């Protein structure tokens, strides 16, 4: 009898253990809306860079798009083994990483299309030698001198893990605290594998602080019935300061909250400060109707009726429809 009870208890225990160790039910992958496109590297776009180093006694430049961040104080530079530049980096253990601006994009593209083994690229950029001995491009708004700490070779690439020795930044792209302001800099981005150069996007908000720092909403594309308009406003002199407060407020709120409001750029004439011109662009006619019906626009309209002496609205036709003006809000 005692043996029978022990066997029964053991059976119950094993049954419970089996139930507890079963794998949880898996989500049916066939129900997922996403499409599997294979083992595609999808961490791009990334900032485009030009790497500078000394090779056989000469400065050499190479455009590099495969870079990464390791922790908070290391950089990974991954370069095909076939590059002439690698020889100089392996020998000197030094290099510079120069972020690319639009103004230097053509030169950066060129140094990526020819080899330093056959073409002298030392004169493509004006440069100075940094404090650590690496060539630093004058035209690049941000350059980092790096020391190679480790080299990891894979099948087709030399992978340089670097520490940052010095960082040089142009004064015009720094904020009041002396930090790099990327909304001023707007570095060029590189997208792989399509090999395309992209522009830096708008500032959406402050990281880990979106609830307290309202961001600009995502914008709709300009449609065929999109609106480009100039609003010319003459304000009575005694109301100009009060009017400006209304105009600034409605512009801020509209750009931040309305997907169809693409541009609202207001300027004041220097010689005639009571003359205000606003460039307004709307994604489509519905976006415009929604805008003028909004609470913030109605507040502006009703609050400034008595301040406006004259209002002229004129629709415009862009000479180049591919051109776009974006408002960036801090």
Domain with 157, as residue range(s), is 46-198
Both 194 and 298 in one domain: the answer is: no
**Is residue 267, in this structure, part of any structural domain at all?**
yes
**Is residue 329, in this structure, part of any structural domain at all?**
no
CB neighbourhood size of 1 (10 A): 5
Q: Does residue 204 carry a pLDDT above 80? A: no
Q: Give pairs for 37-42: CB < 8 Å, separation 24+.
A: 41/192, 41/193
Last residue of a domain, one of 198, 216, 236: 198
Both 154 and 71 in one domain: the answer is: yes
**Is residue 211, in this structure, part of any structural domain at all?**
no
Region of residue 327 (left: phi > 0; alpha: psi -120 to 50; beta: else): beta
Dist. CA 124–CA 136, nearest whole Å: 12
pLDDT at position 324 is 73
Q: Tens of pLDDT along 287-319?
A: 999 999 999 999 999 999 999 999 999 999 988
* CATH number of the domain where residue 155 is located: 2.30.110.10
Both 54 and 162 in one domain: the answer is: yes
**Is residue 327, in this structure, part of any structural domain at all?**
no
Q: Tens of pLDDT along 8-25?
A: 444 444 445 544 555 655
Q: Does residue 50 carry a pLDDT above 80? A: yes
Domain tally for the chain? 2
**Is residue 16, in this structure, part of any structural domain at all?**
no
Both 164 and 256 in one domain: the answer is: no
Q: Is 272 buried (19+), middle (13-18) or exposed (0-12) by CB count in 10 A?
A: exposed
Both 236 and 124 in one domain: the answer is: no
**Is residue 174, in this structure, part of any structural domain at all?**
yes
Q: Tens of pLDDT along 31-42?
A: 778 999 999 889
Q: Tens of pLDDT along 84-97?
A: 999 999 999 999 99
Both 92 and 187 in one domain: the answer is: yes
**Is residue 252, in this structure, part of any structural domain at all?**
yes
Last residue of a domain, one of 177, 198, 219: 198
DSSP string, 20-86: HTSPPPPP-GGG-SS----S------EE-EEEEEEETTEEEEEEE--EEEETTTEEEEEEETT-THH
Both 166 and 239 in one domain: the answer is: no
Q: Are 156 and 80 in contact (CB under 8 A)?
A: yes
Both 111 and 170 in one domain: the answer is: yes
């Amino acid at each position: 009898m005692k043996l029978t009870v022990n066997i029964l208890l053991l059976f119950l225990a094993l049954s419970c253990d089996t139930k507890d160790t079963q794998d949880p039910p898996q989500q049916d992958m066939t129900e997922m809306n996403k499409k599997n496109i294979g083992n595609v590297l999808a961490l791009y776009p990334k900032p485009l860079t030009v790497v500078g180093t000394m090779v056989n006694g000469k400065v050499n430049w190479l455009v590099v798009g495969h870079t990464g961040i390791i922790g908070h104080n290391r950089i990974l530079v991954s370069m095909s083994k076939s590059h002439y530049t690698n020889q100089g980096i392996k020998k000197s253990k030094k290099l510079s990483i120069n972020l690319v601006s639009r103004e230097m994009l053509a030169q950066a593209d060129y140094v990526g299309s020819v080899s330093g083994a056959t073409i002298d690229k030392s004169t493509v950029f004006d440069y100075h030698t940094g404090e650590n001995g690496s060539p630093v491009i004058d035209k690049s708004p941000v350059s980092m001198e790096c020391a190679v700490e480790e080299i990891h070779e894979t099948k087709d690439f030399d992978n340089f893990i670097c520490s940052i020795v010095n960082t040089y930044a142009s004064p015009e792209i720094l904020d009041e605290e002396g930090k790099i302001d990327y909304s001023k800099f707007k570095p060029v981005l590189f997208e792989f594998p399509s090999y395309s150069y992209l522009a830096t996007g708008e500032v959406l908000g402050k990281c880990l602080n979106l609830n307290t720092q309202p961001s600009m909403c995502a914008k709709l594309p300009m449609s065929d019935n999109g609106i480009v308009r100039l609003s010319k406003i003459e304000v009575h002199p005694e109301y100009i300061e009060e009017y400006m407060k209304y105009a600034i407020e409605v512009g801020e709120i509209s750009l931040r909250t309305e997907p169809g409001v693409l541009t609202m750029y207001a300027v004041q004439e220097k010689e005639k400060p009571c003359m205000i011109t606003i460039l307004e662009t709307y994604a489509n006619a519905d976006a415009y109707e929604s805008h003028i019906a909004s609470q913030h626009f109605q507040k502006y309209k009703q609050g400034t009726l008595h301040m406006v002496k004259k209002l002229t609205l004129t629709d415009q036709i862009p000479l180049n429809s591919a051109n776009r003006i974006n408002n960036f809000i801090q």
